[in-house]
Structure 1
């Protein structure tokens, strides 16, 4: 009887250790370096924001957070690598609204399901889009520009930084909500589009605000509207589209995600630390250098944003018939 009791006690102890091991591992997290996968090349705004967060997390948590760039396929390759990683907190990603929301409506096939295979961790920031014109265009704001296009559609062409980009989708959204057909000109990125806008080859342009801040500030370009819900703090004189009676919102937002199944305790810890890093006065000023506005919150807020953006962009993309492959 005593022998049987001893065996039962040993079995209970082993079971208790097995159950307690994951909790112990989570409480000690991180006890080795953590990779932050960025699904875009080095040097861009996503990469710069990721490196700022990585440094802050390294300083706060005592382990190195290493940025690993995995660009390609509109952000799908790097974000897929996050989805396929072990859910142990040692591989996370800083991705954007493109691969997290828009791409599933643009690409015929996706290597991952963002809604099922990724765990929301933290919303970080968003970059508003700006619709701008050459100063020679006789419109002070977006409402007036839409009226010009309606009156003489053949006289105005609007550039965008590439098929399927948020700049392109914003124009399709504007067309949908204003009932106006725009002659759009796709470019391979912001810089060649900006060159043609400054030179007058195109009359207007829709793109994320980051690359255009110096020329907008100097008056070389006219900001017709920002398409965020509030004015951009760095250029407060540019009104939002909604202020002008045009019901549209289009931004690029950045978020930290992990593989589905990442332990809740690790998600909570990362969320708290990331919010603290970017939410300071210094953090807000640092991100504004990249044209970003800090927008933090809980993992549930990020999931809600993903759901709401999915509804918005699915409608725009299907109505316009936009595809990438």
Structure 2
């Protein structure tokens, strides 16, 4: 009799252990996906698309929350400090997990130790665009105009320390020009001013500019990847004019460090299943985002390689945020 009571007590203790209960029941309420940039940019577009499909997979809403500012560091730091139970995720980027280590001396999170990798989602090209009223129609024409008018023109980006800021600084360095950088709190606000011709030039993620390029409201001069983007085959790569030029961004899901492996596995499965949806793939293909999908371990290795790749490039541009 005593053994039965002890066994039952032990079973109950195991059943209601906080970590195990979380893993078994997860998710029993809405999950928050923090996007560390303003609404309207590429990361926001990808995040909302994936969140909607993951909601179906998980059986609970995945609610998008935009927390922009400081090159993505504010929202990223908030997720790093969140309870590691799977109910808070981060839409990480090359900026939050690779570039910021080189750009910020006092980063409020550790890109490696503060997070549990979930899945690499997509790789996304950047694009150099101008307002249609700007006279340049090619990358070479832009370079010629900038050299003939030093310090006259500015370019917009989604914020200090973002891949788009780095794209502009790398362009300045490799082309021998000097555009002034105007940072915004996200690609959305920056696009508004470029569309209104308050700022004539912008480096943007291709997804958030694609509709404006198709409608003629923006003129695309070149994509930042080594090769042309499949969805815009007539837009040359900047590397065709400036050999060796290349930047891009990527989007990946992270949870706070310490999130139970079983919970991470459920989030990973939901994300990868979302990426397999033909409708999701078609929408991502519209703006040349390359679908990846990965295991948590593969994402962890990807981040390490990206840090090693971009640190010397950031150093070469001289960009520094603090």
TM bracket (short chain):
0.7 to 0.9
The equivalent position to 2:28 in structure 1, one of 22, 25, 31, is 31
After TM superposition, give the deviation of residue 256 of structure 1 in Å: 0.9
**Cα 1:207/1:39, change in 2 over 3 Å:** closer
Give the TM-score normalised by structure 2.
0.78
Q: Distance in 1 between matches of 2:277 and 2:243?
A: 33
State the partner residue of 2:90. Answer: 93
The equivalent position to 2:46 in structure 1, one of 43, 46, 49, is 49
Q: Does 1:137 align with 2:136?
A: yes
Moved more, 223-232 or 77-86: 223-232
**Cα 1:228/1:10, change in 2 over 3 Å:** farther
Deviation sequence 1:199-227 (CA, Å, 0-9, x none): xx86x643322443345435676544312
State the partner residue of 1:153. Answer: 147
Structure 2 SS opposite 1:137:
coil
Checking the alignment, whether the CA contact within 8 Å between 1:39 and 1:69 is kept in structure 2 is yes
After TM superposition, give the deviation of residue 283 of structure 1 in Å: 0.2
State the partner residue of 1:164. Answer: 161
Deviation sequence 1:257-309 (CA, Å, 0-9, x none): 00112222222222222122123221022335667443322223322332232
After TM superposition, give the deviation of residue 82 of structure 1 in Å: 1.3
The equivalent position to 1:297 in structure 2, one of 289, 294, 299, is 294
After TM superposition, give the deviation of residue 112 of structure 1 in Å: 0.9
Q: Does 1:105 align with 2:99?
A: no
Q: Which runs of 5+ in 1 are unaligned?
A: none
Q: Distance in 1 between matches of 2:230 and 2:60?
A: 34
Deviation sequence 1:80-135 (CA, Å, 0-9, x none): 12111222222222232222222232233221111111111112223311134668
Aligned pairs for 1:1-325 (under 5 A) are: 18=13, 21=17, 22-23=19-20, 25-132=22-129, 136-137=135-136, 139=138, 142=139, 144=140, 148=144, 153-155=147-149, 159-161=155-157, 163-174=160-171, 178=174, 180-187=175-182, 188=184, 189-196=190-197, 205-217=202-214, 223-242=220-239, 246-288=243-285, 292-325=289-322
Q: Distance in 2 between matches of 1:129 and 1:72?
A: 20
Q: Distance in 1 between matches of 2:32 and 2:136?
A: 48
Q: Distance in 1 between matches of 2:231 and 2:103?
A: 31
Structure 1 SS opposite 2:113:
helix
Give the number of equivalent residue pairs.
Answer: 309
Q: Which runs of 5+ in 2 are unaligned?
A: 185-189
**Cα 1:10/1:228, change in 2 over 3 Å:** farther
Q: Distance in 1 between matches of 2:86 and 2:137?
A: 54
Give the TM-score normalised by structure 1.
0.78
Q: Of the two, which has the highest radius of gyration? A: 1
Q: Note the aligned Cα RMSD (angstroms).
A: 3.5
Structure 2 SS opposite 1:182:
coil
